[in-house]
Structure 1
Amino acid sequence: MKVLMTGFEPFGGEKINPSFEAVKKLDDQIVGAHIIKAEIPTVFRKSIETLTKIIEKEKPDIVICVGQAGGRCDITVERVAINIDDARISDNEDNQPIDKKIYEDGKNAYFSNLPIKAMVKEINDNLIPASISNTAGTFVCNHIMYGLLYMINKKYTNIKGGFIHVPFIPEQVIGKKNVPSMILDNIVKGLKCSIKATVENEKDIIVSGGAIC
């Protein structure tokens, strides 16, 4: 079994992106699965093009894209991606699409087909904070998650795929007041747990993972 894990390059003035820093530290084998690691440009459209080329080359069974969510305090496994780009800031090539569909022939939204609740449970069982998220935002993280799920829906129906957001790491919040962070080793451990849960759970578990607001 092959698991493709991707992280993003730094963006928004940051010098580091914990998503790829964590992906780089993953073992090459986790619960018998071969782990492929790749860095994705934080650029609209190019991110999807890069991911597409890697999928075509590696033919993974599972794809988990990882991104930075500064301000979140835990690891958040995303449930859904929406068909919209609405960038509050420019990407790394100065693109700033506003209210643009990602794919004209795509659905309004696609849901992850990963066992998201089993992933959260496995991470929490290992004493690392994690939860389900019902919004991946409208920047490049949502963009690539939507692109991945669009590909799965249209072409790669045998692939399981989805997205995980991770918090800042401590060195990113120095000088930032009341901004949460998580040490990199715990993020790496959380990603390992998510891979384990995905490999070991053909179907998701049935537990509450909803939110009131």
Structure 2
Amino acid sequence: MSPLPRVLLTGFEPFGGEDVNPSWQAVSLVRDTPPDGVDLHTVRLSCAFGTANDELHAAVRDFTPDLVLCVGQAGGRPDLTVERVAVNVDDARIPDNAGNQPVDEPIAPDGPAAYFAPLPVKACVAAVREAGLPASVSQTAGTFVCNHVFYGLSHLIATELPLLRGGFVHVPYAPEQVKDRALPSLPVSAMADGLRAIITAALTTETDLRVPEGATH
């Protein structure tokens, strides 16, 4: 009998004055009820430049996963967004949780300007939609710690672990975060269902779908 595929799933601690981070809330629900047929390991990353990548890389070394899926909060977005492109720049509009606020600094000085996600992004979006939830391909993961981790993971895969599959997913605010703000949100349980669908699609899709999921702006 072949071993189960090993999946590393990460979320973030709260940041920006929030009391919770729905990425970690959703990851915790998936940890409690993982998809069938996977060996799942979860890690909560610090919302801090440098530290977050150190924590992620340590978890990859310790767990030796087949798939890494990192999850972060994108307040204001209405759906689960599977990220297509990681860019090699830290440009922080606000300080991270350690007080760092890098501006126009490369994540990997020897790395390329960008990486496309080593993940079947369109198949993952389709799987979330098939589960009855909103999803789309995102062309930008921002330039804060989420993109920092996404690029760090992609660079690790490109330079050291070419057989590893990995990517990044952003989730919206949870309802409790927008009680006094007219912003979109999604129940955390729905986010968890979407992440389970993405994990399954990422593990079972050899060639990504060739369907239009681009943006006009």
The TM-score by the shorter chain falls in which range? over 0.9
Query: Bigger CA drift: 145-154 or 22-31?
Result: 22-31
Is the Cα–Cα contact under 8 Å of residues 83 and 107 in structure 1 kept in the other structure? yes
Shift of 1:19: 0.2
Tell me whether 1:197 sits opposite 2:184 in the alignment: no
CA deviations on 1:71-119 (whole Å, 9 max, x unpaired) are: 0000000001000000000000000000101111000001111111011
CA deviations on 1:45-71 (whole Å, 9 max, x unpaired) are: 000000010000000000010000000
- Equivalent of residue 11 in structure 1, options 12, 15, 22: 15
Give the CA RMSD over aligned residues. Answer: 0.8
- In 1, Cα distance between the equivalents of 2:195 and 2:189? 10
Shift of 1:29: 4.2
Tell me whether 1:118 sits opposite 2:123 in the alignment: yes
- In 2, Cα distance between the equivalents of 1:170 and 1:209? 27
Shift of 1:31: 3.5
Q: 2:188 maps to which residue?
A: 184
Is the Cα–Cα contact under 8 Å of residues 85 and 97 in structure 1 kept in the other structure? yes
Alignment of 1:1-213 (within 5 A): 1-26=5-30, 27=32, 29-176=34-181, 178-213=182-217
| Structure 2: gaps of 5 or more residues | none
**DSSP-derived class of the 1:50 partner:** helix
CA deviations on 1:174-206 (whole Å, 9 max, x unpaired) are: 111x21100111100000110111111122111
**DSSP-derived class of the 1:87 partner:** coil
**DSSP-derived class of the 1:100 partner:** coil
- In 1, Cα distance between the equivalents of 2:108 and 2:177? 34
Report the residue type matching 1:18 in the other structure.
P
| Structure 1: gaps of 5 or more residues | none
Report the residue type matching 1:61 in the other structure.
D
Shift of 1:9: 0.2
Is the Cα–Cα contact under 8 Å of residues 28 and 35 in structure 1 kept in the other structure? no
Report the residue type matching 1:36 in the other structure.
H
Is the Cα–Cα contact under 8 Å of residues 145 and 162 in structure 1 kept in the other structure? yes
- In 2, Cα distance between the equivalents of 1:31 and 1:121? 19
**DSSP-derived class of the 1:4 partner:** strand
Report the residue type matching 2:184 in the other structure.
P
- In 2, Cα distance between the equivalents of 1:186 and 1:24? 13
Shift of 1:32: 1.0
Residue-pair matches, total: 212
- In 2, Cα distance between the equivalents of 1:48 and 1:164? 16
Same amino acid, percent of matched pairs? 47
**DSSP-derived class of the 1:156 partner:** coil
- In 2, Cα distance between the equivalents of 1:179 and 1:54? 34
Report the residue type matching 2:66 in the other structure.
D
Is the Cα–Cα contact under 8 Å of residues 71 and 167 in structure 1 kept in the other structure? yes
Shift of 1:207: 1.1
Shift of 1:28: 5.5
Report the residue type matching 2:57 in the other structure.
T
Structure 1 runs of 4+ with >4 Å offset? none
**DSSP-derived class of the 1:189 partner:** helix
